[in-house]
């Protein structure tokens, strides 16, 4: 008898469940019945400011705008995932990757966390990096910091933010320690903050170069004739929410890596003497007036070690 009552109740509940409505699927039948547009009507795009509805209205608006320009837009988007960039940025709501770069859906593989960190023991960033580099084969990785970064500001406070946040911030405190003489010489606290943001980006780029994933791909593309330049290329940039500007940092990564490659290089690319000869050949093959790719360029390429430097000069 108990079973019968239970089954009957279920049948009643089932018979009163409203159908799925609109283009949305919801697990809450009451909300579905009251808040969502009907299955036959298109949303009227009214943003009432209530709850999360604006998200779905705006989504439909976006779909319509895309399809009005290209009816095949979503067929194309749904059929291929081949982004050109891996973006490692801060989770700050003012730094939306695609939007500030003027790029479309499908162009950027995005990873965001507090203060755009690349930590070797973080499975999240390491997994995204591995997938982006080995499966998606992104040619470019952008590490983007931003001024007025709450994570960076918190990292220089002498107070316990408690775990896990404090553990996370400690890696930024380490960046401060590495560059403390430069940072302590900056008297204006805001300018010091901005410089720490920049130095943090540079250190996270260096962390990328330390990884086996990046080094393996760079060796592979260095050896392959398919690639005119070693990939992935790594770019250090900073966004200023107060102006909307995305600014490339002029970094001589080679200088950094020359100091570090004996420690972090995981692959020996070529015999030094062979590469010295290749260097000379590459330089002599430059046409008149053609400049080698010099350190300090915005693109800030870094070789796996100085052994393959000549490859960049062929750009
Ligand atoms: Zn931030």
Name which residue leads in pLDDT, 102 or 44: 102
**Confidence class for position 226, pLDDT limits 50, 70, 90:** confident
Which pLDDT tens digit goes with each residue over 261-298? 888 888 776 555 565 666 677 777 777 776 655 443 33
CA of 265 to the centre of ligand 1 (A): 30
Looking at per-residue pLDDT, the higher value among 306 and 35 belongs to 35
Flag whether pLDDT at 242 surpasses 90. Answer: yes
Statement: residue 308 has pLDDT above 60: no
Q: Enter the pTM of the model.
A: 0.73
Q: Is the pLDDT of residue 9 over 80?
A: no
Give the environment of ion ligand 1: residues with CB less than 5 A.
90, 92, 149, 151
More confident: 90 or 43: 90
What is the band of 254 on the pLDDT scale with cuts at 50, 70, 90?
confident
pLDDT, position 169: 97
Looking at 45-49, 142-146, 173-177, which range is the least confident one? 45-49
Is the model's pLDDT at 17 over the cut of 80? Answer: no
DSSP state of 112: E
Ligand 1 centroid vs 51 CA: distance in angstroms?
Answer: 26
- Give me ligand 1 centre to Cα 156, in Å: 14
To the nearest whole percent, how much of the chain has pLDDT over 70? Answer: 71
Give the span between the Cα atoms of 112 and 144, in whole angstroms: 10
The mean per-residue pLDDT over the stretch 237-252 comes to 96
Distance between Cα 149 and ligand 1 center (Å): 4
- 22 C-alpha to ligand 1 centroid (Å): 37
| Binding site feature residues for Zn(2+) | 90, 92, 146, 149
Side-chain half-sphere exposure of 67, counting CA atoms within 13 A: 8
- Of 200, 193, 189, the residue nearest 237 (C-alpha): 200
What was the pLDDT predicted at 29? 43
Active site residues: 90, 92, 94, 146, 149
Q: Residue 147: how many CA atoms within 13 Å on its side-chain side?
A: 16
Q: Is the pLDDT of residue 121 over 70?
A: yes
Instruction: Compute, in angstroms, the gap from residue 197 CA to the centroid of ligand 1.
Output: 9
- Helices first, then strands: H and E counts in the chain: 14, 5
Structure confidence at residue 119 as a pLDDT band (50, 70, 90): very high
Domains of the chain: 22-80 (no CATH), 81-313 (3.40.1050.10)
Helices marked H in 158-252 — which ranges? Answer: 165-178, 180-184, 189-210, 212-223
**pLDDT for position 243:** 98
**Distance (Å) of CA 71 to CA 42, 65, 66, 67:** 17, 10, 7, 4
Mean pLDDT of 3-18: 41
Binding-site residues from annotation? 90, 92, 146, 149
- Return the percentage of the chain with pLDDT > 90, whole number: 57
What was the pLDDT predicted at 273? 57
The two most distant CA atoms of the chain are separated, in Å, by 96
Ligand 1 centroid to residue 147 C-alpha, Å: 8
Residue 102 reports pLDDT greater than 50: yes
pLDDT of residue 292: 59
Q: What is the mean pLDDT of the chain?
A: 80
Average pLDDT estimate for 61-74: 96
């Amino acid at each position: 008898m108990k079973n019968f009552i239970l089954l009957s109740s279920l049948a009643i509940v089932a018979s009163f469940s409203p159908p799925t409505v609109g283009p949305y699927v919801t697990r809450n039948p009451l909300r579905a019945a009251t808040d969502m547009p009907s299955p036959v009507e298109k949303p009227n795009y009214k943003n009432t400011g209530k709850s999360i509805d604006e998200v779905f209205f705006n989504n439909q608006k976006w779909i319509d705008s895309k399809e009005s320009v290209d009816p095949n837009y979503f067929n194309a988007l749904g059929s291929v995932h081949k982004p050109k960039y891996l973006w490692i940025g801060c989770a700050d709501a003012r730094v939306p990757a695609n939007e500030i770069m003027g790029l479309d859906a499908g162009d950027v593989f995005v990873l965001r966390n507090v203060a755009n960190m690349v930590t070797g023991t973080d499975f999240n960033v390491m997994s995204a990096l591995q997938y982006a580099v080995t499966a998606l084969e992104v040619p470019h990785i952008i590490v983007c910091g931003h001024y007025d970064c709450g994570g960076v500001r918190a990292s220089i406070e002498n107070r316990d933010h408690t775990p896990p946040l404090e553990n996370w911030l400690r890696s930024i405190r380490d960046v401060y320690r590495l560059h403390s003489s430069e940072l302590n010489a900056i008297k204006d606290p805001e300018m010091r903050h901005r410089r720490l943001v920049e130095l943090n980006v540079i250190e996270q780029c260096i962390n990328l170069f330390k990884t086996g994933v990046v080094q393996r791909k760079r060796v592979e593309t260095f050896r392959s004739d398919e690639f005119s330049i070693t990939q992935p290329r790594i770019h250090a940039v900073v966004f200023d929410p107060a102006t909307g500007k995305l600014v490339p940092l002029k970094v001589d990564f080679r200088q950094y890596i020359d100091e570090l490659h004996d420690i972090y290089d995981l692959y020996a690319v070529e015999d030094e003497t062979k590469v010295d000869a290749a260097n000379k050949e590459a330089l002599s093959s430059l046409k008149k007036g053609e400049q080698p790719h010099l350190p300090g360029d915005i693109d800030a390429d870094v070789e796996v070690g100085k052994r393959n430097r000549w490859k960049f000069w062929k750009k």
